[in-house]
Amino acid sequence: MSFVDTLRQWDEAVSCVDRQDLSEALRIFLSIQEPNSKICFDIGCLHLLNQELDAAEKAFDYSIRKDEHLAVAFFQRGITFYRKKRYEESLGDFQHAFKALRGNQLIDYKALGLRYKLYACEVLCNMALAEAQLGNWKKAHENLVKAKSYKTEAKLGLINKAHESTLKQKLFKLVEFPSKELFKPNKHYVAELEKKDYLGKAKVVASVVPRDDFSGFAPLQPQVEDGPTRPKEREVLRALEGEPHTVLFEFVPETSDELAVVPGNIVFVLQKGADNWASVVFNERRGLVPYNYLERLEISLASKQNEGARTHPSRVPPTRPKRTEGPGDSNGNAERTPQQDAQSTDNSFIVKVHFTFNFAVSVPRDSPYGVLIGKISKKLKQPSTAITLSLTSEASGKSVISANTDMESVWSTVSGRRLTLWCKTKEQSEAKAQKGIYLVALYSYESSNPEDLCFHQGDRITLLSKINQDWLEGQCNGNTGIFPASFVEDLPVKNQ
């Protein structure tokens, strides 16, 4: 099943839940052939809502198997075990959920499509209840004391009531998950599923055909009397230019030269540059997309290739006009090929910049250093004095570009109208200079994004800079990139 089909069924099932049609939602969910971890979680929630505890347990098993760091799935399976009176297994799952929180007060799943916050104090509260069911009142008391250190104002009453009950050795109420809250698919992907009519419906104002009531869009038909016109060629095939490719990953543009695409889109590659950026056409718009985000798509263009053989028997094709040095226009000049477009007299160049993320800016050829650094400074929202540019990934020696650099020699080395630079800020350089800062990977991290750093559990990572509270930049196995801070921890000093 394709990604688009899965997305469509997922969205349809969630809509059924919103309409309170739970049986139809469950039927649609179960028809998805290769459900991801979130969909398996949704299936488990619906089974739990229907009191189908065995089916719910199985669904949460699949969810955890596909994503072993999904704390809320452990929490839900722990609730399932508690309802089945399997208190030891319930306790184990609540402990796994608390461990997956990694010392945080809560996890907000809103960014992942679930309107729910899993609080550490609630997980500890359920751990205490499971201990109480097993007769371990002392451990139950210890868990609730620990819960007070993770409490928030909204949960203070819940913890205090549970603590009072344990002092009297009485059971208290289990903290449960609202089962009708489900993971929902990405709203931007769902929006792409809807067909949009940007042109609207045409209205006939004047026509050379008497009593013409046609309403729609069609090319002007030739008015001839010397024979029937040739069969109309499929417009989609006649309009194709370049090589068809399908989009594998979502790409969010950073500049006006780049083009936004999502998985499943079909684009046509006009030109592929040596720096791995491709000039593509999508929905009659042209822009740049990373070529490694695309996969070649085979489409039969037999009818397009044979188009020249089908001419009207009573007409001779006119001689094609000679190509001029200027770009094609609507005044009869010849159309230009994509390769000639790339070599237009327009002297603007694309400068691709490697930073903690990759982006591109457009500058005129032979621009002075001030123009180039000004555009990059504006893009990064950093003062130009805090930015270091270089021609190589290591900013050292002759590779550094500054106000004293002969920019004419830099532009003379450019081929293909694209220049690739590396950029570092003052903060990054200072962080890199701090030797002896190492991290160890708690979990393996794999990503298809070119700016990310992939590693395996146990790998040693050199910290280069802190992007924000959630992302870091580092080096591992000769590669440099960014990665989630929650996947690593500080390496003990004795092991450095």
| Pairing status of strand 418-425 against strand 348-354 | parallel
Tokens of 367: 């621009």
Give the residue from 465, 464, 456, 451 showing the smallest Cα distance to 488.
456
Q: What is the DSSP string of 94-150?
A: HHHHHHHTTT-SEEEGGGGT---EEEHHHHHHHHHHHHHHTT-HHHHHHHHHHHHHS
Residue range(s) occupied by CATH 2.30.30.40 in the chain: 235-300, 434-495
Identify the helix (H) or strand (E) that includes residue 356.
none
3-state secondary structure of 90: helix
Identify the helix (H) or strand (E) that includes residue 304.
helix 302-305
Tokens of 43: 């299936």
**Residue 431 has what pLDDT?**
52
3-state secondary structure of 249: coil
**Are 120 and 136 contacting, i.e. CB atoms less than 8 angstroms apart?**
no
**Residue 307 has what pLDDT?**
42
Q: Which CATH class is domain 235-300?
A: mainly beta
Q: Could you state, in chain order, the average pLDDT of each consecutive group of 10 residues for the chain (496 residues)?
A: 82 90 91 90 92 93 90 93 93 92 87 89 93 92 88 78 88 86 83 60 56 53 46 42 83 82 87 82 86 77 42 38 37 39 55 78 84 86 85 76 84 79 73 64 82 88 81 84 87 58
Say how far apart CA 72 and CA 126 lie, in whole Å. 13
Q: Alpha-carbon dihedral of residues 33, 36, 37, 40, nearest 10 degrees?
A: -30
Tokens of 250: 């979502």
**Residue 344 has what pLDDT?**
39
Tokens of 67: 């994503």
**Residue 305 has what pLDDT?**
46
Domain 3-167: give its CATH code.
1.25.40.10
Say how far apart CA 76 and CA 456 lie, in whole Å. 28
Domain 434-495: give its CATH code.
2.30.30.40
Count, residues in the chain: 496
Please report, for residues 92, 112, 132, 158, 171, the alpha-carbon distance to residue 135 in angstroms, rounded to integers and kept in the order given: 16, 38, 5, 21, 10
Q: Which CATH class is domain 348-429?
A: alpha beta
Residue range(s) occupied by CATH 1.25.40.10 in the chain: 3-167
Residue range(s) occupied by CATH 3.10.20.90 in the chain: 348-429
Say how far apart CA 159 and CA 144 lie, in whole Å. 7
Say how far apart CA 368 and CA 240 lie, in whole Å. 39
Q: What is the DSSP string of 159-223?
A: HHHHHHHHHTT---PPP---TT------HHHHHHHS---SS--------SSTT----S--PPPP-
Identify the helix (H) or strand (E) that includes residue 286.
strand 285-290
Question: What 8-state DSSP symbol labels residue 364?
Answer: E
**Residue 1 has what pLDDT?**
64
**For residue 116, how many C-alpha atoms fall within 13 Å in the half-sphere facing its CB?**
18
